[in-house]
Amino acid sequence: MSHALPEIHLVRHGQTEWSLSGKHTGRSDIPLTQAGEDAARGLADRMQDLTFPIVWSSPSQRAFNTCVLAGFGDRCVKKDDLAEWDYGAYEGLTTKQILIERPGWQLFRDGCPGGETAVDAGARADRITREIREIDSAVLIFSSAHFLRVLAARWLGLPPGDGRLFVLDTASMSVLGYEHDRTEPVIRRWNQT
């Protein structure tokens, strides 16, 4: 379906060893697995009929390599604000491991010691959202799950912590946009694999 209003496609990077095992992967630069590379190549087929004048990626190799393998690396701009959540002391740990030390912990509510809170990630998402709205064009974004979830919440005007309400699989595509006009931001599609 064609829309007169711009759409923003969000792509979560392909699988990594840490995403497969459930380890929090914020600023560690973990490469894609073979399955992750294959899924990234498969994105090219899924997006072959779409045109994106603007393509952005997180600086992480997992996001940027997903972009390259999907066929958009030649026009991609890396943006620091698209980096995954900074997990600080929880980098490389699974939620199960964190809960042993900190029962009841929830990322979107509690943040990470030595890392970011939802408000911190939300401030980065707000800068990206403002830039998207100023550009007023279709944009393709490659990043990581928790940050993209915060971005979706902020796109809708929800608190950053409401990113907890959205789930993203590896190599998934989601689409942000508008309903009737630019005063009505919506999620048009979510977590398509």
Instruction: Give 126's Cβ-side CA count (13 Å radius).
Output: 10
Task: Tell me the residue length of the chain.
Answer: 193
Active site residues: 13, 84
Q: How many CA within 13 A on the CB side of residue 113? A: 7
Q: Are strands 54-57 and 8-12 parallel, antiparallel or unpaired?
A: unpaired
